[in-house]
Amino acid sequence: MSLKTVSDVLVRLDRSGLADAVPLILAVGPYRLRLRCKGALRAELATYFADVLSEDDTDAIEIDILDGQPLDPAPEWQDWAREPGKTGRKDAIHDLVDGRLVFKRHTGVTFLQSDAARVAFGPVSDNPNQVINFVNTQILNACLREGWQICHAAAVTSGARTLAIAGLSGGGKSTSVLRMMDLPGTAFVTNDRLMVRGGAPLPIALGIPKHPRINPGTILHNARLHRLLTPERLTELAAMPPEDLWHLEEKHDLIVPDIYGPGRLNLTAPLSDFWVLNWQRDSTDPTAVTDVDLSDRPDLLDAIMKSPGPFYSDAAGRFQTDRTPLDPAAYITALAHVRVREVTGRIDFDALFEEGRRLFGATR
């Protein structure tokens, strides 16, 4: 049986086991999500999303999570092109008349994305992080349909002012934002995806409930994070050449309340400041933070803009392709009332921390 419609997919999936599942309701800004899932994975998701659990499921986005049930035979997959600088095959898609299937080649997890149904299936229990990403993608999609812009940025807030930090992958945005969490009165907003909706006097920023996944270098250079690794591993990392440590990909989950305590998560805040990391590891110049106009700096805007990826369809149900261009003008409009600054010179997290101390200690 060929897969042409969402109904063709659903008829091959058995969701009857979810009929008596106690749903998880998530509240993220103005959005509600209703997750149906059972077993150990449900418990894991409940723990992960503990800070955004709610009982209000009004107008909630429905998501079903099924362990197992791979599509056999599988459809003809089309590879989704990766972003510049990244190699290898990661995602593949199969478009339906009224939806899209997205297949994770490394894990075998498959997602049905449509207005009629949103389902994660395959070896989901072995890959909870991909389920978490799928859940958060629904928040991003809802925002995009209402005119928000998705920024490739981490962010921290004091409530009155919020600092977003962008940069090339591996440029240090996570390390920088986590250092700002050492400032009293700050709260974590997001680690990698920040939604921004323009407005005055300041636009609104919305983070997603995704705890940071950080590399060993971030852990090594922040004593508060050392508990995430064994003393033996920390010693090994300290002995590595700095260049090797910088490029080491070894992700570790940082659960914000476990490290920083309760009340240090705030997903919604007014966006006042945006820093773009354009510093260099081989520079001898002192670290500098300088005001810029994004209209004159398309290179910096490229570091901020982020494709919504294969899961997004517009309000008419049209899915984008891996060649759909981003709209720089929409980002410039959304960030019109934000103070944007470029970070140049050598990479110096201590110097950036002091700049953050002045920022959050000042009045706007």
In this structure, what CATH number is given to the domain that contains residue 338?
3.90.228.20
| 294-333 core/surface letters (b: 16 or more CB in 10 A; e: else) | beeeeebbebbbbebbbbbbeeeeebbeeeeebeeeebbe
262 and 194, same structural domain?
Answer: yes
**Structural domain count of the chain:** 2
C-beta separation of 318 from 180 below 8 A: no
Same domain, yes or no: 26 and 102: yes
Are 104 and 190 part of one and the same domain?
Answer: no
In a domain, 236, yes or no: no
Domain finish residue from 94, 124, 145: 145
* Same domain as 303, residue 174: yes
Tell whether 162 and 208 lie within a shared domain.
yes
Same domain, 120 and 183: no
What tokens were used for 291? 């005001």
Same domain, 165 and 294: yes
Q: How far apart are CA 312 and CA 361, in angstroms?
A: 39
The verdict on residue 242 lying in a domain is no
In a domain, residue 279? The reply is yes
- What is the structure's pLDDT at 171? 82
Do 140 and 159 share a structural domain? no
Query: Does residue 31 belong to any structural domain of this protein?
Result: yes
Please enumerate in sequence order all residues whose Cβ is within 8 A of that of 322, keeping only pairs 6 or more positions apart, or say none.
80, 81, 310
How distant is the alpha carbon of residue 197 from its chain centre? 16
Query: Do 177 and 311 fall within a single domain?
Result: yes
Q: What is the pLDDT of residue 242?
A: 87
Give Cβ neighbours of residue 285 (< 8 Å, ≥ 6 apart): 344, 345, 346
Same-domain pairing of 195 and 343: yes
Whether 61 and 178 map to the same domain: the answer is no
> Per the domain annotation, does 219 fall within a domain?
no
Q: How many CB atoms lie within 10 A of CB 77?
A: 16
Mean pLDDT, consecutive 10-residue segments, the chain of 364 residues?
Answer: 92 96 97 97 97 94 96 94 72 97 97 98 97 98 97 96 87 92 96 96 97 92 93 95 87 94 95 96 94 96 95 94 95 97 95 96 56
Q: Is residue 341 part of a domain?
A: yes
**What domain range is 78 assigned to?**
6-145
Task: Tell me the C-alpha distance between 287 and 276, whole Å.
Answer: 13
**Rounded to whole angstroms, how far apart are CA atoms 343 and 275?**
7
The answer as to whether 1 is a domain residue is no
> Given this model, what pLDDT does residue 364 score?
40
Quick check: is 224 in a domain?
no
- Counts of helices then strands in the chain (DSSP H, E): 11, 21
Angle at 318 between CA 311 and CA 11, to 5 degrees: 65
Question: Which pLDDT score, from 0 to 100, does residue 363 have?
Answer: 42
Residues 299 and 190 in one domain: yes
Of the residues 145, 173, 192, which one is the last residue of a structural domain?
145
125, 145, 165 — which closes off a domain? Answer: 145
Residue 169 confidence (pLDDT): 60
